[in-house]
Chain A
Amino acid sequence: MSGTYLGMPAFPAAAASSTQDTRLRANLRYATHTIRDKRARAVAELDDWARLRAAGAAVKDRTLRHLDHYLEQLEEAVTAAGGQVHWAADAAEANAIVARLVRETGEREVVKVKSMATQETGLNRALAEAGISAYETDLAELIVQLGDDLPSHILVPAIHRNRGEIRDIFRERMGRWGRPAPEGLSDAPNELAEAARLHLREKFLNAKVGISGANFMVAETGTLVVVESEGNGRMCLTLPETLISVVGIEKVVPTWQDLEIFLQLLPRSSTAERMNPYTSMWTGTADGDGPRTFHLVLLDNGRTDTLADTVGRQALRCIRCSACLNVCPVYERAGGHAYGSAYPGPIGAILTPQLRGTASELDASLPYASSLCGACYEVCPVAIDIPEVLVHLRERVVQGGKVTRRGVKTVLKPAKGHAAERAAMRAAGFAFGHPGVLRAGQRLAGRTRRLHPRRLPGPGRAWSDTRDLPPVPAESFRDWWRRTRGEERGK
């Protein structure tokens, strides 16, 4: 598995490549528009949506402002309920803890529920290095894993793949990981789902160790919550003897009652459903029902650095619903891979450079991956002012200033001739160098093809290899240029 975003090209370069991929863009456009429209209807059904949203934001703010208190309370409650709590300051430590816990069970295979936190830490690769096979069990994650690919959307990670590609991946790759795809598999979604069911059932029934994240952790009771659709989550959370959950420290909410807010906000914002098909809640271990051993790994990995920034802190309210991706004109064109982390779209543009810092060219360019149109803020169920944080981060990249890295306060140098500025300039230069791109959008795809780099260097190459074509549509790019340059000049 490649399974890593490190070494990815900076946003403008990656975006320039992925915007040339017609299929990717068509898939993305269809997906984002469909979910976006459904979401608006689901939200309109609740006439107290604005109040729920305000309450959700307030609960998260209360939690963040007193995070130490709630984490200690959570630890106590989980422990009292029979769980074991571990703390990980960074990705490497979290991965090492998980690898050790798996090894202590004597097992060499684990089944996984889709989890952003373990994407972020690159857990699968770390486990592979420790001689442990990690099987993704979410259908989309399975497609991504079998295809030796990376997720491109929070909610529908394989949205960049169409049914024909999925069939080919299943036919060619399933056998290497376990039960092969049935003979004569077609590209009908129900057949593909059935193939996944058979392939994975073998894994579920034999799994001794399950690995998950969590959508929420309740400090008061020690309860963990996983929200899903397929039932693979339920399988991983209840069938194995040992369950290891890796969860970001910001996922805690104070009380059981607080779930009433988030269980209304999340499904409607995410899949546009009144409620997702399955939600599992567990508190420590239960006698004779589910795993006998439960480990909770609490992950920092840049979250406390994000917390230290009083403007950027609000990014930690995020409940990973992906609503902001679906309304973002830049995401729609660039695709999830261009953001170079587990977190694509507007939330990725503000979260990743805070979690990782802005030292790399990619991370420094992320705050520029936006037209600042504000649609992301409008839909965000916990009212994260993403444009505000974007502007703040651009300012930080360009002007420098005080930041906290790995818990230590330091001063970031102003980025004269810095990677980000270069990246921003290059992206804008690309647009101005090709006025046809600015004017005409998709129509010119064929003609401008030769002008764009068809392949990315280095690790990006694998996925740019199979992707090509059309250009960045005029408006968002021009808009983007005007705004970003305008701002930089203004300061």
Chain B
Amino acid sequence: MTVATARPARPAAPDRTILLLLFFVMTSAALLVSHNGELLEQLGGLGRTLRNPIVEALMVSLFLANILFAHLWRAAPWAKALVGIGSLLFVLPMAGREDTSLLDLSIQIMIFAALALGLNIVVGLAGLLDLGYVAFFAVGAYAWGIFASPRFGEVLRYYGENPGATNAGTLAMGIVLTLVTVASLVVISRHNRRRAPTPATAWSFRLASVGLVAGVILTIRSILVLLSTRADSLANGIDPGFFWLFLALSIFAAAVVGVLIGLPVLKLKGDYLAIITLGLGEVIRVLANNLALYSAGSQGITPIKSASVPWFDAMAGALGFTEDQYYLLFLYALVLVMIGVILLVNVRLDKSRIGRAWIAIRDDEIAAQAMGVPLMQTKLIAFATGASFAGVMGMIFAAKQQFISPESFVLNQSIAILSMVILGGMGSFPGVILGAAVVTLLNLRILPGLGEATANLGIPQQVNPGQLQRLIFGAILVAMMLLRPEGLLPSRRRQLELHNDDNQEDESAQGNAGALNSASGDVYSAGFAPAKENDKAGGSR
């Protein structure tokens, strides 16, 4: 192996400001024209071509490529900002005004981008393969779905009819029990911090935890019973003004679920973690299917409200949006802000102490532990952060679809999100967003468009591209793993690491499969723990 020599400095990329602006103007015009029904009527034959689903999908893809190019190309900062802001805040909503499905599509892309960013923290940064990620999405969706739909009234009615022995006295008891157990938990854990834990403290801690659960259940149950007289007034769900409270709550709830799931399972590594998270994801789905009182079972919950923001609606009205588009536009803006916040959080976390701890754990758990990284705590933070992004997006998803059912939270969704992360490049934020956009476009526009366009060409229904999502996902996963395991836009930190490491062959950073073939076991790939050829589980040595 030759010693890695200093790489020749890359020639500076040519300045592409003009090209970027030109591309932006052209694709924006194409998008606006191709989604304007009236204009298309007037265009006649050209209009019919533009309405072809493949052409439409192409237009949308080209338009979204703007943002990618603004990120990739070397151009004047003002031009980049102009393209980004112009396309997201101006062109997309304007085209969406003519064609609501475009607004819907962009919200969907951003929801998946946020989910992929969340999973990227768990898989890409901390190296924990989570196949049940969609469970957190479901938590957020159901948290809002149950309360903002007629479901809540039904639940209250049920408790009104079956009060058991619950009354104000039980409520008081439940609250007292909760408070006492919380207090004793705090006291015991403080005690444990000062002195070594004894069996007695361990047992009393467990006892108090059981008491806490009982107290919380009692309290919630009696609150539900006491509220049951209001079942009729809540027949359409709670006031949409609670949206903001629930936005905060869904972040919190998903993070708590993330910690609760993470506490037992994060002791495990690699394959075991993958399979157990897959199992837990299924558990959540089975529960959603069977707890018919709360989740309406497989029928699903509908209609789910969105927030009502009068000034926003007024503004949308002034801009020429119709009334049934108000909530979509609102959610579009909200999701845009959320993506911004999530990206900011991601970038800050990545550069923080915790981000470095995650990467240390991903690269070598034992070495990280030896260096004083608290394993469990750091992994839990990764899990909870990823979960909280999914929770808030789940809530927005519920508000957008106005309908949720367990079908939306199946394993395939988890795998779709995983394939976004892998396709884009584990650990790389722009890459992950690109992956989300590509996969969502493929799923919602390109494949159905191809399917529609080829419907009359005599291709049998079974091999219609619109039906082959799994095949295409699978092919993406396999092809990426074989050809370019670090993704389309690998993270810069990963590249730098690879270039500065004397043990690495230089080409490995380029991600050719040849590097993976050499069984040195030293090849790094974004997000993957190094292979240990001799690490066998079967036989003890």
Task: Tell me if chain B binds chain A.
Answer: no
Contacts from A to B (Cβ < 8 Å): none
Contacts from B to A (Cβ < 8 Å): none
